[in-house]
Homo-oligomer: A and B are copies of this chain.
Amino acid sequence: MCGIAGAFDVERAFFVLHDLLLHLQHRGQESVGIVMDNFTSIKGHGLVKEVLTEKSFIEGHTGIGHVRYSTVGGPEEIQPLVGYTGKGKLAIAHNGTIPDASHRRETFLERGAVFSTTVDSELFLHYVSIAPFEDSLESVLWALQTVPAAYSLLVLNEDFMIGARDPYGYRPLFWGKYDGGYVLASEDSALVVLGASDITEVERGQVIILEKGKSPKIQKLSVDRPGRFCVFEYIYFARPDSNLGGINVHKARFEMGRWLYKEHKIQADIVIPVLDSGLSGALGFSSESGIPMDFGLMRNRYMGRTFIMPTDRKSSVRKKLIPIPEVVKGKDVVLIDDSIVRGSTMGVIVSMLREAGARKVIVGIHSPPVKYPCFYGIDTATRRELIASDHTVEEIRETIGADELFYLSIEGLIKAVGREDVCLACLNGHYDTWVPEVDSGV
């Protein structure tokens, strides 16, 4: 769960990268980094606006950046990673995960390498350093061939910037023209808001090569694999105004809401979206069902930790969402959200609606239950705690205290998205690469 951005040959690239990363902030809030082509850099834990301030401005026309969801360890683990290799100094920004990273790392250590981080992405630097070429560009391409998945990757040195997607296309990547140069970002919406033109999706297996004073070159990795774009980008990860594979994310969620009702013809008085994650789906559900939507849960403009916490009120949900008793009192409500992770948040929301007087609380989720770990870029540490991995829908319903609970089917999801070349591994357990043995649930 990361976002990556690149700026090539533009004025004040720091500001451009700042803006792109700001628009990708939803992809990662724990750490931010920028490295310029002279390898000056800014890195820090926290949000883009906290780390990349005007005071931390660094000069330069070309650079890459990274936001990350969960960063273990000290500041040295924050991307972009920088290394001095036999082919020169190099910086990389990586979105995705290498499933067999630990085996690959072991091999390097046996031959006397020194790793400076625990991050799987550091492997790319070592592959470049041992690549059987003098030329650094050749070496990078060789490294990309050597690691089949999962990556959307930016590589930078003093001479060139490379943007690449693995042959499966697990993670998104876009590029466009800007200010006489080029910009790259995980989502097209970041490029749109910046004001870039000729915005194009980097295809799976494609490598964009930007060299100073030359036209961009586009190359294709020789390895071929089936398309496996992460379906969770549509469900909850990407911004609603992004268009991934030509499909608008808000629209896709609206359709998921519609297909959810088509599969579950529920009776209720009102549809209530969980703000903001369930908004698009709830609208689709209401539109298809004819059940009116109302805002039984409003968003609190000013959040903050409260100190007074009666039993069971510990969830931050209670500060984020305000129930409106006048809306829900005595009604059968259908609550719509995009997914259930651990179930605790949904449990609190259901309680809040009951306390506010709802007669019946029915929960509809516009995606299928997530049962298997992801090895391609969604934080597995979190996934291990997934309630659906070892509970039935009925057990989950009991846990969250709902009167009814229903999910969208995998088939419904594919119809709603309108695309079949997606990765469904976390939903059905079918992995397309070697993956570590999972301790439970499979």
A interface residue numbers (CB < 8 A to B): 12, 15-16, 18-19, 22, 25-26, 29, 41, 43, 47-49, 54, 74-76, 82-86, 109-118, 122, 125-126, 129-130, 189, 193-195, 239-241, 243, 248, 250-251, 276, 279-280, 283, 287, 292-295, 298-299, 301-308, 310, 318-319, 322-327
What's the Cα separation between A18 and B302 when bound, in Å?
13
Q: For A87, give the chain B residue with the smallest CB separation.
A: B109
Say whether A15 contacts B308, CB under 8 Å: yes
Q: How far is the CA of A325 from the CA of B249 in the complex (A)?
A: 11
Q: Beyond A86-B109, A109-B85, A114-B85, is A47–B302 a contact (Cβ under 8 Å)?
A: yes
Interface contact B308-A76, CB-CB below 8 Å: no
17 cross-chain CB contacts under 8 A: A22-B306, A22-B319, A48-B304, A49-B305, A86-B111, A112-B129, A112-B130, A114-B114, A114-B116, A114-B126, A241-B322, A243-B326, A248-B324, A248-B325, A251-B327, A276-B299, A279-B298
Question: Which 8 A-B pairs rank lowest in CB-CB distance, beginning with the nearest?
Answer: A116-B116, A49-B304, A15-B307, A25-B302, A112-B130, A84-B115, A248-B326, A83-B114
Complex: how many Å from CA A18 to CA B309? 12
Known: A304-B25, A322-B241. A129 touches B113 (CB 8 A): yes
Known: A25-B302, A111-B86. A307 touches B276 (CB 8 A): no
Main secondary structure of the interface of A (DSSP, over half): mixed
Q: Judging by beta carbons under 8 Å apart, are A322 and B84 in contact?
A: no
Instruction: For A112, give the chain B residue with the smallest CB separation.
Output: B130
The answer for the CA separation of A301 and B27 in the assembled complex, in Å, is: 11
Q: Quick one: closest B residue to A116, CB to CB?
A: B116
In the complex, what's the smallest C-beta–C-beta distance from A390 to chain B, in angstroms? Answer: 30
Contact A129 B114 (CB under 8 A): yes
Q: Is the CB of A298 within 8 A of B276?
A: yes
Q: Known contacts A48-B304, A308-B15: does B83 contact A110 (CB below 8 Å)?
A: no
Other contacts beyond A25-B304, A112-B129, A283-B294: 18, CB < 8 A? A18-B306, A19-B307, A26-B301, A47-B304, A49-B303, A76-B116, A84-B114, A84-B115, A84-B118, A85-B109, A114-B129, A194-B308, A195-B310, A239-B298, A248-B325, A250-B326, A251-B327, A276-B298
Distance in Å from the Cβ of A60 to the closest Cβ of chain B?
14
> CB-nearest residue of chain B relative to A41?
B74
Minimal beta-carbon separation of A319 from chain B (angstroms) = 8
Bound CA span A271–B84, Å: 54
Please state if A324 and B240 are interface contacts (CB–CB under 8 Å): yes
**Bound CA span A294–B86, Å:** 56
A308 vs B241: C-alpha distance in the bound complex, in angstroms?
Answer: 19
- Interface contact A26-B114, CB-CB below 8 Å: no
Measured CB to CB, the closest approach of chain B to A116, in angstroms, equals 3
A322 touches B279 (CB 8 A): no
- Expressed in whole angstroms, the Cα–Cα distance for A310 and B292 within the complex equals 40
Across-interface contacts of A324 in B (CB, < 8 A): 240-241, 248, 250
- Residues on B with C-beta less than 8 A from A294 are 283
Please name all residues of chain B whose beta carbon is closer than 8 Å to the beta carbon of A130 when the two chains form the complex.
Answer: 112
Decide yes or no: A241 and B304 within 8 Å by CB, A114-B129, A195-B310, A250-B327 being known contacts: no
Q: Report yes or no: B283 in contact with A239, Cβ–Cβ below 8 A.
A: no
